[in-house]
Amino acid sequence: MKFGGERNLLAVRARVQQPCTRWYSGAGIYRHVRLIATDSVHIAQWGTSVTTPEVSEREATVRVETNILNQSTSAQMVRLDVVLMDDTGREIATSTAVQKLEADSTGVYDLIFKIPKPILWSLESPRLYHVQTTVHANDRSADACTTPFGIRTFEFTTDKGLFVNGKHVDVKGVCMHHDQGCLGSAVHTRSIERQLEILKSMGCNAIRTSHNPPAPELLDLCDRMGFLVMDEAFDEWKRDKTLYGYGRFFDGWSERDLTDMILRDRNHPSIVLWSIGNEIPEQDNADAYDMAKRLVDICHKNDPTRPVTSACNSPAEAERSGFSTPLDVFGVNYQMSYYQTLRGRARVIASETASAVSTRGEYNLIQDNGTPTIKNQFKNQCSSYDDTTAESTLRAIKNSPWVAGQFVWTGFDYIGEPSPFPWPSVSSYYGIVDLCGFPKDRFYFYQSQWMNKPVVHLLPHWNWPGFEGKEIPVKCYSNCESVELFLNGKSLGEKRIKETKALHLEWMVPYAPGTLKAVARNNTKTVCTDEVHTTGTPAKIVLTPDRKEISADGVDLSYVTIKIVDKEGRVCPDADNLVRFIVDGEGIIAGVGNGNPISHEAFKAPERKAFHGLCLAVVQSKGKPGAVKLSATSEGLQSAQVVIQTMAKPSMNR
């Protein structure tokens, strides 16, 4: 380092060799990098640990342990002032501790607080407290930091699953890769927040960070929005799954990487599980027990308050080899029959389930010798009719109350790993939501099973020229007692979920253009409806931003949905018009998309084709207050404009 005002040059290089993951990893530095300058006396990196060893409605014990480094050349009298604040910023407790720290040494400050009538962090009310720590060395201010935390209890049991604050909670979770669709792997806090908002509206309450430590922004949002988290460290140990996998680094780096993840993330109340790996090939190794125990011990050493799991795709082998023995919670991937095997003798989480595939708006309904036929996989698209694995998994979870819940593969589509199809497919089909954030039909299936509010949803769309008079399968997802189906005002009969073996309702309907309507009832009272219409030809563009005001900080985003509609304003389900964009004012287009897994159009472009009537433009502020006008045009369609205001207000993207 050069001192005295001389210029220093710091160069950081990310040398990524591909393929290094089985999905799209991104490359380069795509998360925020922080250069931290400190006094010679300072709090160690991730050196504050906040735990709550005793919690009741009457009182909570809060333990704040702080590691302070004296990297000076002389002994220092170091005072630590700690202030506890509630979520309004009100001071509720204080304490001070003083130690003499010798040169080049570390001091541990361990303070205990009693909080009367604590406000507990929960999924329904994710209330946070804050610890403010200030370091004084020889009576001068040396360092300070603020650490959010939550007061809550949780317990995984062998017979009834998970309890949070003494209340039973079903884990209704999804697995999520880190990419943000058309924005790639670059971290945008608003993009992550939007994903969580969409998932919460489906009834999701938990995230598995498959299969690597997440961006810290995700965990901050889960704390504030009320999600449980399985924080996962590895997809591979020594035996690689891809050419340039983590096996190259495991021996030298696994302890450091796992330790860093835990120290960084341990104060997040949303985290209830550490995962030491996903479908680790060493499940059947002769030394599987030793390898797993080493990592579990690292977790327990750095955070004794949380259980450790691993997502086992071969649970029988994991038990036979001893791989599962050190685990606190047995993670099972897909092997639903093994739930019964583990009943009463292990704490269990369905760490990965379903892997259902579908394409938004695709039904693959064709005529085979004049008979309507569903092709589940056809021309590199997956039919949205196929919900078999989603239903069977959910039924297995419902019938296994000792399993704490499930993490569905996956919440959103993601770039890469386009199973079950190879090229020209370029993104996954697993998502309940597509790459743009547009819900697939399966979204409403999970919503009907995971939420208490009345839900009813019909599929497919109702544009089937050439099928007149032929029977088309019509599915309905609902959590209501009964649903009556109407075609052009004529009843096709009322059905009840309890009278079927499936978790959905189904009719065979002779196709006739018009309106298909579902009327859902509880106690004979109509509580919700859904309609699909035979639409006209595309006539105009409609722009709908998720937010009309964003922060003028240069990073905040507004997601603008582009709809291709007929003259009545109804989305045309087969519209694929090319839409061109122009942005004026204090914003840029950060990305465009349409959710089509075989689209090779650029994510960074001033245009995008619609896919089943929809596409997306993401508008990003430039950094100054003002207006952003997004205009959309397409040949033969009425154009549209929308104005988004960039406001001089504090940003969440700090």
**Letter for the amino acid at 328?**
D
Q: What angle, rounded to 10 degrees, do the helices at 288-302 and 250-265 form?
A: 30
pLDDT at residue 650 in the model:
59
pLDDT at residue 653 in the model:
43
Rounded to whole angstroms, the Cα distance separating 448 from 261 reads: 35
**Cα–Cα separations (whole angstroms), residue 588 to 332, 379, 502, 608:** 44, 35, 47, 15
**Cα–Cα separations (whole angstroms), residue 577 to 182, 440, 602:** 19, 20, 16
Q: Kindly list the averaged pLDDT for each block of 10 residues, start to end, along the chain of length 654.
A: 90 90 92 91 98 96 98 97 96 97 97 97 98 96 97 98 98 98 97 98 98 97 98 98 96 98 98 98 97 98 98 98 98 97 97 98 95 96 96 96 98 96 96 98 98 98 97 98 98 95 96 98 97 98 98 97 98 98 98 98 98 98 96 98 90 44
Rounded to whole angstroms, the Cα distance separating 13 from 32 reads: 14
pLDDT at residue 654 in the model:
34
pLDDT at residue 542 in the model:
98
User: Is 352 in contact with 175 (CB distance < 8 Å)?
Assistant: yes
Report the alpha-carbon angle 465-468-469, nearest 5: 165
Rounded to whole angstroms, the Cα distance separating 609 from 592 reads: 10
Which among 207, 254, 226 has a CA at the least distance from the CA of 408? 207
**Cα–Cα separations (whole angstroms), residue 617 to 33, 448, 504:** 27, 29, 34
pLDDT at residue 158 in the model:
97
Quote the strand ranges of 253-370, DSSP E.
Answer: 271-278, 308-312, 329-333, 348-354, 365-368
**Cα–Cα separations (whole angstroms), residue 387 to 376, 391, 443:** 10, 6, 11
Q: Which domains does the chain have, with CATH numbers?
A: 41-149 (2.60.40.10), 159-450 (3.20.20.80), 456-533 (2.60.40.10), 540-647 (2.60.40.10)
Catalytic residues: 279, 352
pTM, rounded to two decimals: 0.97
Residue 241 has a CB neighbour count (10 Å cut-off) of 17
Q: What angle, rounded to 10 degrees, do the helices at 216-225 and 189-202 form?
A: 40
pLDDT at residue 1 in the model:
83
Evaluate the CA torsion angle 174, 177, 179, 182 in order and state its sign: negative
